Chains A and B, each alone.
Chain A
Amino acid sequence: MNTKNFNRITLTALLLVAVLFPFFADFYILCIGISVLIAALLGQSWNIMSGYAGQFSFGHAVFFGIGAYTSTTLYTMFGVSPWLGMIIGALVAALVGAAIGFLSFRYKLRDDYFALATLAFAEIFRILVNNTSALGGATGILIPYLVKPSEYQFASDKTYYWVILALVAFATVFIAVMSKSKTGLNLVAIKSNQEAAAALGVNVLKYKLIAISSSAFFAALAGTFYAQYYGFIDPSIVFASSISVEAIVPCIIGGSGTLYGPLLGALLIIPLQEICNSLFTSISGINMIIYGVLIVLFIMFCPDGIYGRMTKYISKRKGN
């Protein structure tokens, strides 16, 4: 049996486990499963622009929030189905991403400065929405619960689980195809050295904008899902820096710039967070402390992440 077949079988088996998971999970475990998948989708989104293209974002909440707010206001104010709203929100986020990218890259913000700029944009959006009464202001928006699948509302959490699983699968397939394409090569080349990429005819600005827009698109999908699943959003939730962190951590832990790294990262980090929260109920924000420590440890000792380290190890052994 060759490696390709082995990989295909493993993948199919894992996918089957993921699909059938709700039948074996109780309500609490299923909720954790959904949280894992939200983190995985955010992680894959971050993976595109930061993992592959190397443009570090510290403000992914801006795209998540735009997704959540676009579909939710379209639904509560105009009766647009959140399914359609999700797509519109993702497109709006992609546009906003392109605008943020254009402003930042145009003025040659790089690395840390770019990361800070994304953080600033997330804060600006949070404050803007907070002060816009038409968008519910600081009170937020409650989504009327009608249990209509055509309006992205389901009676059972199992269905929510499958919806977010499908979105994660979509993002993963997108990355798999992209990473082998011209676009994928150009993004990784830009991450390595953008001067060298430009010397080979790569339009660096254009590909950075492609990266940030497609990344924003997927983060917004996660935002709409979040809104529909929890039925309530406010600026301090969906534009929170904790959302931005939740996009970063699965990638760093699992392996940024790898196809499955963020999935593995989300699968490890969310249950860990759950365990810590139940162990230290008195300490609020314990998850943030743990995230902080983990990020520092991983960046120092395992910068490739777990999946990245694994694949490097395997290819090394094959090479020898």
Chain B
Amino acid sequence: MPLLSVQNVCKYFHGNKAVDDVSLEINKGEIVGLIGANGAGKTTLFNCLTGYYKATSGKIVYKDKRIESLKPHIICRMGIGRTFQIAKPFGDLSVLENVAVGAYNKCKTKAEAYDKARQCIIFTGLAGKEDTNAGTLNTGEQRRLELARALATDPELLLLDEVMAGLTPTESQEMVELIRNVKDQGVTILMIEHIMPVIMALSDTVYVLESGRLICKGSPEEVSQNTQVIESYLGKSQEA
């Protein structure tokens, strides 16, 4: 039984089919990549999975439960964490407090929550920044903070929306390592990514989205050799 099963999900915005009849499955322990050009509907699909948008039609089943009508915070409680394409640090809180907000998802006491938060900060390489105001972090640190916060909620499934965006090559290399470590902790990952080498390096399975529709599924090698994908996506991004 897959951990997450997406069945014929559609999301329309006034006739614009942002997500069009998408079905996919994620098994426990996998890293699944989701690629596609800008505007393909990747983030919209994430928003449907995490309760920000109500899918126009289709079923989303997580651990045998239908979740397509649930609120975002409930979905988080059930064990699905996410990061945002545009980092959203809580600028009036310290790094430690930012992560503690996530840690309270599962931790009962303040001591427990702050302990958990400290661990996640160390894990994501933000040690030493605990008392820094989150609003003053640079892009790389903000990405790590997004990840630390999501991890603090103790997810079984983690959805990452372009965590490499805006990172320098060195930083993205570190982020790739970090995501591997997250996987080694037993967390299943669905990640949206633009950078092909990153997807190649990390994913077990890759789905390709084009104009809201899935056009291809396979191992990274299979997908990168698929002519339709090369034409519609890889070709385009090479031109750009």
Whole-angstrom distance between the alpha carbons of A204 and B73 in the complex? 8
Closest to A204 in B: B73
A181 CB to closest chain B CB (Å) equals 7
Residues on the A chain within 8 Å of B71, using CB: 198, 203
Secondary structure at chain A's binding surface: helix, strand, loop or mixed? helix
Whether the Cβ atoms of B93 and A201 lie closer than 8 Å is no
- 1/0 per residue, CB under 8 A from B, across A179-202: the answer is 001100110110111011111111
Does B149 lie within 8 Å of A185, measured CB to CB? no
Contacts of B82 in A (CB 8 A): 199
Asked if residues B104 and A182 are in contact (CB atoms below 8 Å), the reply is yes
B50, B81, B90, B110: which contacts A182 (Cβ < 8 A)? B110
A-B contact number at CB 8 A: 74
Q: Assess whether B89 is interfacial by the CB under 8 Å rule.
A: yes
Query: Which B residues lie within 8 Å of A199 (CB)?
Result: 50, 72, 76, 81-82, 84, 150
Does B52 count as interface, using CB distance less than 8 angstroms? yes
- Report how far A200 CA is from B51 CA in the complex, Å: 12
Measured between alpha carbons, how far is A202 from B51 in the docked complex, in Å?
Answer: 13
Provided the pairs A199-B72, A199-B81, A201-B77 are in contact, do residues A185 and B101 lie with their beta carbons within 8 angstroms? yes
* Residues 103-151 of B at the A interface (beta carbon under 8 Å): 104-106, 110, 113, 149-150
The 8 Å CB contact of A196, one of B84, B92, B100, B113, is B84
**Interface presence of A265 (CB below 8 A):** no
Interface size for A (C-beta < 8 A) is: 20
Which of chain A's residues has its CB closest to B84's CB? A196
B153: which A residues are within 8 A, CB to CB?
200-201
A67 within 8 A of B: no
CA distance A185 to B114 in the complex (A): 12
Give residues 153-181 of B contacting A (CB, 8 Å). Answer: 153
Question: Which of the residues A181, A191, A201 comes within 8 Å of B73, measured between beta carbons?
Answer: A201
The verdict on A185 contacting B93 (CB below 8 Å), with A198-B76, A201-B153 known, is yes
A198 CA to B97 CA in the complex, in Å? Answer: 15
User: Which interface residue of A181, A193, A199, A202 has the most chain B CB atoms within 10 A?
Assistant: A199
Q: How far is the CA of A198 from the CA of B84 in the complex (A)?
A: 12
Report the bound CA distance from A182 to B92 in whole Å: 15
Evaluate contact between B73 and A195: CB separation under 8 angstroms: no
User: Contacts A201-B153, A202-B73: A192 and B113 contacting too (C-beta < 8 A)?
Assistant: no
B91 interfacial contact with A, CB 8 Å: yes
| Distance from A75 Cβ to chain B, minimum over Cβ atoms (Å) | 41
CB-CB contacts below 8 Å: A180-234 with B: 181-182, 185-186, 188-189, 191-193, 195-204
Name B's A-contacting residues (CB within 8 A). 50-52, 71-73, 76-77, 81-82, 84, 88-93, 97-98, 100-102, 104-106, 110, 113, 149-150, 152-153
12 contacting pairs across A/B (C-beta < 8 A) = A181-B110, A182-B110, A188-B90, A188-B92, A188-B93, A188-B97, A195-B88, A197-B90, A199-B76, A199-B84, A200-B81, A200-B102
Since A189-B98, A198-B51, A199-B84 are in contact, a sample of 11 more A-B pairs with Cβ atoms closer than 8 Å, ordered by chain A residue number, is: A185-B100, A192-B93, A195-B84, A196-B84, A196-B88, A199-B50, A199-B76, A200-B102, A200-B149, A200-B153, A201-B102
Top 10 A-B residue pairs of the complex, sorted by shortest distance between their CB atoms:
A201-B105, A196-B88, A198-B72, A201-B76, A192-B90, A200-B102, A193-B88, A189-B90, A189-B101, A198-B73
* Chain A residues with a Cβ under 8 A of chain B: 181-182, 185-186, 188-189, 191-193, 195-204, 257
